[in-house]
Chain A
Amino acid sequence: MLKRVHFPPSVLPYLLVAPQVIITLVFFIWPASQALYQSFLIEDAFGLSSEFVWFENFVYLWNDEIYLATFWRTGWFSLAVAGLSMSFALVLAGFADRVVRGAMIYRTLLIWPYAVAPVLAGALWVFMFNPTLGIFPYFLEFAGIDWNHYLKSGQAMLLVILAAAWKQVAYNFLFYLAAMQSIPKTVIEAAAIDGAGPIKRFATIIFPLISPTTFFLLVINAVYAFFDTFGIIHAITQGGPAGSTTILVYKVFNDGFVGLDLGGSAAQSVILMFLVISMTVVQFGYVERKVEY
């Protein structure tokens, strides 16, 4: 039996948790409840009065073709960003795991992009791909490709996906490398003796053994693509051309702060909030259960 230790009642524990509670209340609970309340209101065109309309804003979104298109666009944008950055990070980590000399240098260099702010990352890609000044359009011209992401929606989407994925590679790389290095070395050696070459070992031993990390990163990257890519999109395309790179979080901003439809924008942010909550629940479900192997 465990002995229960009794402490005299004291205010100290409450004082210690107070800062955390206050920060959560001020920066999360309060704005979230404001948004929830706001999503039930419709303002008139001049912003002078507002009317309580229950779920009308949500019903409107449900029937809005543009919103639904944005929804799907966000979905495959996230998949593309997650897929691209994770597979690239996986390959890099696979190589870095085998490097013996100068391993620290490679790792440090590979981690740098993570320290770049999203807007700056976006600016970087804007310069590189500027149709008149950029270096890449110059080379692409030789290949017969006319690059102008200000006009062509496909190219615009490709560019934001590349920029968003590039920035996340470092993060994924770190997790993949850590996961690979936690595999006992003798297991890899046993496979080598059993006759498996490097690629076979990667496919049949390493990749299955790091699958928990893959699931974890999938959720993290989806959440990243949903929310943290705002700065990149804002710097590169501002959601254009013709809304072709507008994802949900960018539409919240556009409708609310540019279009001044506060009620509708609040309703969108409430939907986003529930999306992220459900993704987090899925993730914790996996972390708790661990992926079986």
Chain B
Amino acid sequence: MANINLVNLTKSYDNTEVLHHIEGSIADGEFIVIVGPSGCGKSTLLRMIAGLETVTSGEVFIGDKMVNDVEPAHRDIAMVFQNYALYPHMSVEQNMAYGLKIRGLPKDEIAKRVREAAEILEITEYLSRKPRQLSGGQRQRVAMGRAIVRDPQVFLFDEPLSNLDAKLRVQMRLEIRKLQKRLGVTSIYVTHDQVEAMTLGDRLMVLNAGYVEQFGTPVELYQCPETVFVAGFIGSPSMNFLSVTVADGVLTLENGATVAFSNGHSGTALLGVRPESLIANPDGAVRLKVEMVEQLGANTLVHGHLEGTGTEMVASLPGIETVESGTVLRFDAPQEALHLFDAATQKRLET
């Protein structure tokens, strides 16, 4: 078992820096999810921890040992790839046994571990098949099996579920979570899906364009986003952002409506409010002109504009509601659900 430390980690390809000064410490047994949009450097960061990419500057520690110059083979890690990367010419059993054979474990020990892992993952009946004779979901399990038989110090996952259909993805997500808790192995999981990130991670590292935007628990990220990016990235549907001016404890929206708000700041700012935090109130200050309604069953999403402006807004009403497009709905939001950001630096303005 091992903790992981990333110290001032930087990666450049041909003089373009793609990861900037990444810092983070991961406790033993923790499940960390690295999440961010495509191209932000998630895979690169994971591959640096695995030893598949060189470190441009900074240090990677696995269990107190600096591993910058240690071969992947000697880092005692196991990785699950997005395309599974199974050995096509070997049977499922041989795929799982490969790493153990190389480490020179005795035959009966290998057989025992493979059998146990196959039972956990319910792939016992496919042991003699070749990867191409398996479905995507079964291949995914084999890739997991290949990782767990090794009993490594760290699991690394690079979008392992993105090739599966939605239902299987949810099911596998839960299984990975249970498996990780049961084995207690430190894990780092890369995904671009924020729902996956929120449900899996003990803590989330939100990456954007090679910078760590925030590193915290799912609840922290949801309740107290540090930047506009995190606020917009976490939560679905995404947070509404409205330009406001603040003066003397009053927020003035673009269309002139005012909301009482006790915050020490003054000047222009960006107000963030989640669709589910908007509460319908006939006297509410926020007026939304409805354009389109999405019925999701459990709730109803109302899309439109802040009345009199071009600023798009979404509100979420509980249950099934019928709303004509063109009507104006009025909302309020509790003070604690309002997030204020500096318009220039995009950083959170604390009260």
Residues of A bordering B, CB below 8 Å: 184, 186-187, 189-197, 200, 204-205, 208-209, 293
Contacts and interface: CB of A to CB of B under 8 A. Distances in A.
28 contacts: A184-B83, A186-B81, A186-B85, A187-B85, A187-B88, A189-B50, A189-B52, A189-B72, A190-B85, A190-B146, A193-B50, A193-B52, A193-B72, A193-B78, A193-B79, A193-B99, A194-B73, A194-B99, A194-B146, A194-B150, A195-B99, A195-B102, A196-B73, A196-B102, A197-B73, A204-B98, A205-B87, A208-B89
A187 B85 CA distance: 5
A85 B82 CA distance: 38
A194 B85 contact: no
A191 B83 contact: no
B50 A200 contact: no
Chain B: interface size category:
20 to 34
Given A192-B72, A192-B73, A194-B150, A293 B89 contact: yes
Ranked 5 nearest A-B pairs via Cβ: A194-B99, A293-B89, A186-B85, A190-B85, A195-B102
- The DSSP consensus for interface residues of chain A is helix
B89 A193 contact: no
A195 B79 CA distance: 12
Given A187-B87, A205-B87, A208-B89, A192 B71 contact: yes
A195 B73 contact: yes
B167 interface: no
B182 interface: no
Nearest to A200: B102
B60 interface: no
A269 to B, nearest CB: 41
A195 B103 contact: yes
Contacts, number: 61
Interface string B65-81: 00000011110011101
Given A186-B81, A186-B83, 17 more contacts: A187-B86, A187-B87, A189-B79, A190-B79, A190-B81, A192-B73, A193-B50, A193-B73, A193-B78, A193-B79, A194-B98, A194-B102, A195-B102, A195-B103, A196-B73, A200-B102, A205-B87
A250 to B, nearest CB: 40
A197 B73 CA distance: 8
Contacts of B72: 189, 192-193
B52 A192 contact: yes
A184 B73 contact: no
Contacts of B87: 187, 190-191, 205
Interface in B93-133: 98-99, 102-103, 130
A189 B85 contact: yes
Nearest to A207: B89
A186 B81 CA distance: 7
A190 B146 CA distance: 10
Interface string B38-80: 0000000000001110000000000000000001111001110
Contacts of B74: 195
Nearest to A293: B89
